[in-house]
């Protein structure tokens, strides 16, 4: 699996869609024809996680900034072959489970050489096998994951006053990266150290895979490795709470496909997060035309994550943030996106076919749809549909700064 979910999101073009997913098939999908009545992944992994202390439901922080009139969604752009519309910089992790096709669909199990470990384990046996101190406050934690069948890293930024082995717990932010990137991205590419560092908050930055799918892969209906949702929710969270002092007052933030992860996790595991924020996220994957975009240029790999968009439509919808927006009642929400036109941080002469323009146009359409659906569902959402702006870190840095005070307030983080 060499192409990440972010790239799939951006591979478009009406001609390709017409060839690979004819209008009659889309119509059947919308009508539910040929869709299984039950789907184990759609229904079976979305329950709350009470075993390590889910946060209580808060009153929604932040007023809705939705426009009074529903904006007309932009048409999907045509994507020239060879472009990388959702490039977020960096590179996949060396031991990327998304690229280990030989493991896909296998039953989850601990990878070889996991050892007994000296740290408290997650309920499914996931364990910490090593901790590398990068500086006085930042650590790389290696996790042997049954859900991924591999050892992967999670980067941790500790607050001032944090001490290993202490019984004290801290407000915690889970920060999810974009596709074709890794757990180092938030520290390397953003200014999260400067924005969140002065607060008494613990920041957890897990590995999310080069595809950035933030889901347990469908794998033709048999499930199995890689199970990213299981890794993030049932492995990373308990390991951080049992070994690093992560508290049960949590926020989830993410950019690009990580923005999708932050919102969908808050929906599928109600009560787990007090706040969720998406910056240029893929928030409407099952919208009319989007399954064609996601699968048209990726062959069999295009359906490995969520399944065939017709026969596994229930699974697509179960991972669509817009479809499930009503589940965010009681959760604070911030979403933002540009529209793909060159903005204040971009070259004004950037051509229309540039990858960053196309990627942000797509995320803009999906975020716009999400905001409209939230308004219809009566879910307060703070949104910043800021118009001109492309798909890059310059905007995500700005959005982190804008959203952080409200996130900090929601989880009780204070300047230390």
Q: Using one digit for the tens of pLDDT, what is the confidence trace for 66-119?
A: 333 444 544 666 655 555 555 566 677 788 999 899 999 999 999 998 877 789
User: For 388-402, what is the mean pLDDT?
Assistant: 97
Task: Flag the least confident range among 58-62, 208-212, 345-349, 385-389.
Answer: 58-62
* CA angle in degrees (0–180, nearest 5) for 79-82-83: 55
Work out the burial of residue 300: count CB atoms within 10 Å of its CB; fewer than 13 is exposed, 13-18 middle, 19 or more buried.
exposed
Of the pLDDT bands very low, low, confident and very high (cuts 50, 70, 90), residue 300 is low
Q: Is the pLDDT of residue 297 over 70?
A: no
Q: Copy the structure tokens of residue 51.
A: 């075993």
pLDDT at 9: 43
pLDDT at 8: 45
Residues of the chain above pLDDT 90, percent: 68
Q: Is the pLDDT of residue 169 over 70?
A: yes
In the chain, the domains with their CATH numbers are 5-411 (3.40.50.1820)
User: For 325-342, what is the mean pLDDT?
Assistant: 98
Mean pLDDT highest for which of 39-43, 248-252, 286-290? Answer: 248-252
Of the pLDDT bands very low, low, confident and very high (cuts 50, 70, 90), residue 180 is confident
Distance between CA atoms of residues 336 and 338, nearest Å: 7
Task: Please tell me the pTM assigned to this model.
Answer: 0.84
Identify the residue whose tokens are 């001490």.
163
Of the pLDDT bands very low, low, confident and very high (cuts 50, 70, 90), residue 374 is very high
DSSP 392: S
CB 220 within 8 A of CB 105: yes
- Mean pLDDT of the chain, nearest integer: 83
CB 254 within 8 A of CB 175: yes
User: For 376-395, what is the mean pLDDT?
Assistant: 97
Of the pLDDT bands very low, low, confident and very high (cuts 50, 70, 90), residue 294 is confident
Number of alpha carbons in the 13 Å side-chain half-sphere of residue 180: 16
DSSP 343: -
Distance between CA atoms of residues 403 and 277, nearest Å: 8
Q: How many helices (H) does the chain have, and how many strands (E)? A: 14, 9
């Amino acid at each position: 699996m060499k192409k990440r979910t972010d790239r799939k999101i951006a591979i478009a073009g009406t001609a390709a869609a017409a060839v690979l997913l004819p209008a009659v098939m889309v119509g059947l999908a919308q009508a539910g024809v040929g869709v299984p009545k039950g789907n184990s992944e759609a229904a079976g992994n979305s329950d709350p996680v009470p075993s390590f202390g889910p946060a209580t439901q808060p009153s929604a922080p932040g007023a809705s900034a939705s426009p009074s009139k529903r904006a007309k969604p932009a048409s999907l752009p045509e994507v020239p072959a060879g472009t990388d519309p959702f490039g977020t910089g960096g590179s996949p992790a060396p031991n990327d489970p998304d690229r280990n096709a030989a493991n896909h669909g296998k039953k989850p199990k601990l990878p070889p050489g996991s050892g007994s470990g000296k740290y408290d384990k997650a309920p499914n046996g996931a364990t910490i096998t090593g901790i590398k101190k990068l500086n006085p406050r930042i650590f790389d934690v290696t996790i042997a994951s049954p859900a991924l069948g591999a050892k992967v890293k999670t980067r941790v930024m500790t607050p001032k006053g944090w001490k290993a082995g202490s019984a004290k717990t801290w407000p915690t932010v889970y920060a999810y990266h974009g596709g074709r990137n890794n757990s180092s991205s938030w520290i390397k590419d953003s200014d999260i150290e400067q924005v969140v560092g002065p607060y008494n908050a613990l920041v957890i930055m897990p590995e999310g895979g080069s595809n950035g799918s933030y889901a347990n892969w469908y794998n033709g209906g048999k499930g199995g490795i890689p199970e990213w949702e299981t890794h993030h929710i049932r492995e990373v969270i308990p390991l951080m709470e049992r070994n690093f002092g992560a508290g049960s007052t949590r926020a989830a933030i993410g950019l690009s496909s990580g923005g999708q992860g932050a919102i969908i996790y808050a929906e599928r595991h109600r009560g787990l997060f007090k706040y969720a924020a998406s910056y240029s996220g893929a928030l409407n994957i099952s919208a009319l035309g989007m399954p064609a975009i996601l699968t048209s240029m990726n062959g069999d790999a295009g359906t490995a994550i969520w399944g065939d968009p017709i026969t596994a439509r229930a699974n697509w919808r179960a991972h669509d943030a817009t479809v499930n927006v009503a589940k965010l009642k009681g959760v604070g929400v911030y979403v933002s996106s540009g529209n793909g036109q060159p903005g204040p941080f971009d070259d004004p002469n950037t051509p229309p076919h540039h990858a960053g323009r196309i990627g942000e146009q797509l995320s803009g359409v999906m975020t716009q749809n999400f905001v409209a659906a939230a308004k219809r569902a009566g879910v307060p959402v703070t949104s910043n549909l800021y118009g001109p702006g492309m798909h890059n870190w310059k905007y995500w840095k700005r959005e982190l700064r804008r959203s952080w005070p409200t996130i900090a307030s929601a989880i009780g983080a204070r300047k230390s």
